[in-house]
Amino acid sequence: MAGLGTATVLGAAPARVDAEEAKIPSIAGPDPATKTPGFNAPPGSVDTHTHIFGPASTYPFSPTRPYTPPDAPLEMFRALHAKIGVERAVIVNATVHGTDNRVVTDAIAQSNGNYKGVANINAAMSDDDLAALGKAGICACRFAFLRRLGGVGDMKVFRTLVDRVAAIGWHVDIYLEAGTIQEFVPILKALPVTYVIDHMGTISAAKGIEDAEFKALLDLQAGDEKCWVKITGPERASAAGAPFHDAVPFARKLIDNAPDRVIWGTDWPHPNVKIMPNDGDLVDLIPLFAPDPAVQHKLLVRNPERLFKFEAKS
């Protein structure tokens, strides 16, 4: 898996790198016509799963990246949140930037305390490197157990890295391959640290609410106080397409199951999706996920403040 102890190899011949990069598939950018949502997010709301891509001229993409996105820089990021009425954000460094986390830490430095970050790390990083990331506003690191992003990798290295970040007060972000929740339950339960499962466990709405994988996720969420779930990716889960209402019952179940350990995000600029969502539509799903304003406040404000250690506005 990318980021589990395999630092980017330097010194390859430029012609070879160019030839290899030419084979990397390109992906679409976000919908440029963001709608103004009908739902007004409460003050202090946090979009807890976002990415910034480039500009590649300043923050070069890794030559070993699995895909090439168009630039989605800080200016676009800010405009998106102004349009949807969200004040704060957590920037998750994507695989395209490898273990160069500057695109995240530079944005945090310009945010006046409104941004936090999730880093990509590897075993070559020293304790001083991790401490510097923590000072720069990083609260967690991400492990993507997806074949298209490099696969699982060495689980001993994974556990060593988890132990190291646990020692400095970080949590870990877990992105699982669809259909692998049951396989990972014992691994996740054994972790010594809070973990957050991305994109509602990459569930498939087509399989229905009684699917064994979704039931396993609900059981894990209810039974392990270390388990948090991101209410993100309805466009990834949906079988019906926009406005992704077939994903709503899954999100509601997860929120009702552990309302103090769920957080929400857009996943802007939506890398590798089959259907590009409009972020205004995604915001308008929130009251369907959580009709109670008190629960909306937990999902959008109070829970992310606790997890990411934002200054309390709740």
Judged against a pLDDT cut of 50, whether residue 3 lies above it is answered with: no
The tokens of 143 are what? Answer: 């492990």
Q: What is the pTM of this model?
A: 0.93
Q: 38-55 pLDDT, tens per residue?
A: 999 999 999 999 999 999
CB 91 within 8 A of CB 73: no
Which region among 151-155, 212-216, 284-288 has the lowest average model confidence (pLDDT)?
151-155
Q: What's the number of CA atoms in the CB half-sphere (13 Å) around residue 75?
A: 2
Q: Which of 47, 198, 224, 267 is catalytic?
A: 267
- 267 a catalytic residue: yes
The percentage of the chain sitting over the pLDDT mark of 90, rounded to a whole number, equals 89
Query: How many structural domains compose the chain?
Result: 1
Tell the residue number behind the tokens 């929130």, with chain if given: 286
Q: Does 275 map to a domain?
A: yes
Q: Does 260 map to a domain?
A: yes
What integer is the mean pLDDT of 211-225?
Answer: 98
Q: Does 313 map to a domain?
A: no
| pLDDT recorded at residue 151 | 56
Residue 124 per-residue DSSP state: T
| pLDDT recorded at residue 146 | 86
Q: Does 5 map to a domain?
A: no
The percentage of the chain sitting over the pLDDT mark of 70, rounded to a whole number, equals 91
Q: 146-202 pLDDT, tens per residue?
A: 876 555 678 999 999 999 999 999 999 999 999 999 999 999 999 999 999 999 999
CB 105 within 8 A of CB 84: no
Domain with 228, as residue range(s), is 14-29+42-308
| pLDDT recorded at residue 312 | 93
Contacts with 8 (C-beta within 8 Å, 6 or more apart), sequence order: 62, 63, 64, 98, 99
**CATH number of the domain enclosing 122:** 3.20.20.140
